[in-house]
Amino acid sequence: MLKLPIYLDNNATTPMDPRVLEAMLPYFVEHFGNAASRNHPFGWEAEEAVDYAREQVAKLIGADPKEIIFTSGATEADNLAIKGVFEMYANKGNHIITCVTEHKAVLDTCKHIEKQGGEVTYLPVKPDGLIDLHELEAAIKPTTVLISIMYANNEVGVIQPVKEISAIAKKHGVLFFTDATQAVGKIPVDVLKDGIDLLAFSAHKMYGPKGVGALYVRRKNPRVKVTAQMDGGGHERGMRSGTLNVPGIVGLGKACELCRLEMEQDTKHIKALRDKLENALLQVEESYLNGHKDHRLPHVSNISFKYVEGEGLMMGFNKNIALSSGSACTSASLEPSYVLKALGLGDDLAHSSLRFGLGRFTTEEQIDYTIEQVTNTVNKLREMSPLWEMFKEGIDLNTIEWAHH
Amino acid sequence: MAYSEKVIDHYNNPKNVGTLDKGQKNVGTGLVGAPECGDVMRLQIEVDETTGVIKDAKFKTFGCGSAIASSSLATEWLKGKSVDEALKIDNMEIVEELNLPPVKIHCSVLAEDAIKAAINDYRKKNGLEELVFEERIH
């Protein structure tokens, strides 16, 4: 029996894997110690648990455990990486290169840097969502200290050419930071092979708990340092003060371990379902896939259904299916998705988009139900859409003088 | 955001979806909004030429649930009203009836604009002077 509602918003957050919860539970009541308490068994237990988690985390991304800084999540890790590098390398320069489809945690941090006297270049993306490597290289100046390009995008799932980006950064002696929140645990990420200097991610996008994440900071070739953004007891090699969130960190560690061991199996399962969903929905007339078809995360599909509006569309099934839309009506800003617009989509197509984010626990039955519900609602709303009627009559909507408001 | 029961009801069972023959002299059509803004409403009225009463009204809307509900409600209210009475429909009545939150008030404004545009189209077709309405910022 199909249980409703169905969760297809795994890019926003994932449900916690019960095995992660199980690993965390002893660290609330029983082993509650402070990992910084060096002089008694309570502290030793906590420290041991954190060390173990650090190894689990490091192993997933091919890092050394000493290179892992625990944070409260990816937003904090993004802030620490960008602001920390900007401050630490102020003698070398003040220029940062990023891109327009980054998460707000990166973009707004860069805006902050600009207010502090920094200079930021925001690279555009091509219609497939990828940055142009020539433009990246051309943007590098003698004052450039950091390139900050996300591993994979949260809205369309497009995977940037990380290896090529890091090669360019290395060639010019610039550090490379990547917000890998959507990628870590989903696809193979290896900081050595990928040539990454700093990398941010969080637990709750990979079946771990909310409120915990990590920043990888390279220790060798080159040795990277960031200025702490939180002052205090000097935890995490002085880069991030604050008592460690032991249960959260244990959960992050366990989540990383599960992702590492089960990635192949998870991907096979999820990708098959994603492809089934996507192929069925692209059969709907005037539906368009957003983002590069191949350079893309295996669990994400972002589709625009022309001539219907995203929020209106979701209303047809959002009691039973949870997903996201790029429609302005779903955001407080009344602007459609800046990511889709950066890909060159018109506002009309951006308003008409749905993002499907599948996960470890998605079933075929759920996908079949979703295909049916979404297709029916699109058809129903098109019967109600004046734009669909005009399209069917062969009227070019661009020739109409709309009353913009 | 949770929708009111009435919005959900209009969305699930929209009243008077359809198209009237805009070639007819007694049919007025109002098309307002823009695709880039995420909402377009087309509202049509058919006027009984002897009595001046709106005997039929149809709509088609591209937009969110509140936009669909606002136009569906508008067609219900228009039927049976004289053209002059129809002009008195105020967007705030739609807001109250549908319990629209502040962020959705523009949907009701659009519906009111669509009513006025339809009436003006009808007036124009019948040799009457078009009415001038206050500019509004949605």
Task: Find the mean pLDDT for residues A74-98.
Answer: 98
Chain B residues with CB under 8 Å of a chain A CB are 3, 8, 11, 14, 17, 19, 31-42, 60-65, 67-68, 103, 106, 110, 113, 137-138
Q: Tell me the whole-structure pTM to 2 decimals.
A: 0.93
**8 A C-beta contact, residue A150 and residue A99:** yes
A388 in B contact zone (CB under 8 Å): yes
d(CA A210, CA A198): 21
| Separation CA A221–CA B34 (nearest Å) | 54
Q: Report whether pLDDT(A197) > 70.
A: yes
Q: For residue A227, give the nearest of A307, A364, A344, A116 by alpha carbon.
A: A116
* Residues of chain B with C-beta less than 8 angstroms from the C-beta of A402: 33-36, 40
**What is the Cα–Cα distance from A340 to A299, expressed in whole angstroms?**
18
Q: Is the pLDDT of residue A233 over 90?
A: yes
Catalytic site includes residue B64? no
Task: Compare all CA atoms of chain B with the CA of A327 and give the residue at the minimum distance.
Answer: B38
Largest alpha-carbon pair distance within chain A? 80
Of B46, B94, B38, the closest CA to residue B71 belongs to: B94
Q: Is the pLDDT of residue B1 over 70?
A: no
Residues B62, A308 contacting (CB under 8 angstroms): yes
At residue B135, the pLDDT reads 63
Cβ A200 vs Cβ A74: under 8 Å: yes
pLDDT score for A326:
80
Least confident of A148-152, A348-352, A368-372, B66-70: A348-352
Q: B17, B19, B21, B62: which to substitute to probe chain A, counting the most A Cβ within 10 Å?
A: B62
Q: How confident is the model at residue A328 (pLDDT cuts 50, 70, 90)?
A: low
A386–chain B Cβ distance below 8 A for any pair: yes
- Confidence bin at A333 (pLDDT 50/70/90): low
What pLDDT does A343 receive? 96
pLDDT of A330 above 60: no
pLDDT at A327 over 80: no
DSSP secondary structure letter of residue A117 = T
Q: Name the least confident of A7-21, A32-46, A281-295, A346-360.
A: A346-360
The pLDDT tens digits of the residues spanning B108-123 come to: 999 999 999 999 999 9
pLDDT at B137: 52
Which of A35-49, A223-237, A388-402, B75-89 is predicted with the least confidence, judged by mean pLDDT?
Answer: A388-402
pLDDT band at B130 (very low <50, low <70, confident <90, very high): confident
Q: Which among A165, A178, A185, A148 has a CA at the least distance from the CA of A297?
A: A185
Look at A351 and B38 and tell me if their CB atoms are within 8 Å.
Answer: yes
Percentage above 70 pLDDT, chain A: 98
